[in-house]
Amino acid sequence: MDKNKIKALAEYVHNAEKDKKEILKITADLHPSLSIDEAYLVQEELIRQKLEDGHQIIGPKMGITSEAKMKQMDVDDPIYGYVFDNMIVEEGDSISISDYIHPKVEPEIGFILGKDLEGPGVTTLDVLRATEHVFPAIEIIDSRYENFNFTLPDVIADNTSAAGAVFGTYLRKPEELELDVVGVTLSINGEVQSLGAGAAVLDHPAKSIARLANMLSKKGEKVKAGQPILSGGITAAVRLSPGDFVSAKYGGLGDVSFFVKE
Ligand code: OOG
Ligand code: MG
């Protein structure tokens, strides 16, 4: 794929995000043969455009790391993308539904590393030893594609549907918890909509961070200390409506919540 094509595809997705207008997936028509490697080139260009617009990367995120997500989205491999500063929602604050296309939420466990991790060969244990804190989080995803309908390359090119992140302030050391058996409930207006445990994420959420380090090493990049990192949705994602009070509650890892307005 030549540079102009990559740029055009990144603009296609980027404009949908800026205009809050859903688009047909890239592989439907524009470029049916889009490969995973090409999709990451489109994502890189999209990220370059966002940085050029003055936005900043807050941290990386993993996606499609649980069976629940693989089934819901009908794709089956972990992928990564990036959370930007303009996506951050403070705990307890409100979002406006009109700032999104068709937003959904999913509960995730967040990591902050005390030292950089560089693959290949990073293990789950390496991640746990490098982790300074874990924290509760909710990710807001908002695929730019019609009906959240996409293939793996499509969703990679769309920065893995990243649209918002609510980082809880309850920090724990990883050794204070057994992250794989930390349970979570995701509730809307006090009613549980989905539930799961950390092990839903690749058997252990720290394994997801190891996978991220190993994937990034193919580009000569590492997972950096100090950045909040999302390890991937534990449960299927739940659609948002105006008036929702969204809350994720974790066993031993506190909770995190926010409101949805018109
Ligand atoms: C893709 C986003 C995947 C996760 O945690 O699985 C993701 C999507 O479901 O639209 O962030
Ligand atoms: Mg996610």
Q: Containing domain of residue 187, as a range?
A: 3-261
Q: Rounded to two decimals, what is the model's pTM?
A: 0.98
> Residue 184 is part of a domain; what is its CATH number?
3.90.850.10
The four Cα atoms 169, 170, 172, 177 give a dihedral, to 10 degrees, of -140
Closest ligand to residue 202's CA: 1
Furthest CA-CA distance within the chain: 50
pLDDT attached to residue 43 = 98
Which string of b and e fits 104-118 if b means at least 16 CB within 10 Å?
Answer: bbbbbbbbbbeeebb
Q: Are 229 and 80 in contact (CB under 8 A)?
A: no
Using CA positions, which residue lies closest to atom 3 of ligand 1? 63
pLDDT in tens, the chain (262 residues): 999 999 999 999 999 999 999 999 999 999 999 999 999 999 999 999 999 999 999 999 999 999 999 999 988 899 999 999 999 999 999 999 999 999 999 999 999 999 999 999 999 999 999 999 999 999 999 999 999 999 999 999 999 999 999 999 999 999 999 999 999 999 999 999 999 999 999 999 999 999 999 999 999 999 999 999 999 999 999 999 999 999 999 999 999 999 999 9
φ/ψ (deg, to 5) at 158: -90, 30
Position 166 scores a pLDDT of 98
Pocket test residue of 158, 160, 229 for ligand 1, highest count of atoms within 8 A of CB: 160
Q: Is 177 helix (H, G, I), strand (E, B) or coil?
A: coil
**pLDDT computed for residue 76 by the predictor:** 83
Pocket test for ligand 1, best of 13, 69, 75 (most atoms within 8 A of CB): 69
Instruction: Ligand 1: list residues with CB < 6 Å.
Output: 63-65, 69, 73, 106, 139, 141, 143, 148, 155, 160-161, 232-233, 237
Which ligand number lies closest to the CA of residue 80? Answer: 1
Domains held by the chain: number: 1
Look-up of token digits 């499609």: 64
The alpha carbon of 2 and the centre of ligand 2 are apart by a number of angstroms equal to: 30
Give the residue whose CA is nearest to atom 10 of ligand 1. Answer: 161
**How many whole angstroms from 105 Cα to the centroid of ligand 1?**
9
The ligand with the least distance to the CA atom of 151 is 1
Q: In angstroms, what is the span from residue 160 Cα to ligand 1's centroid?
A: 6
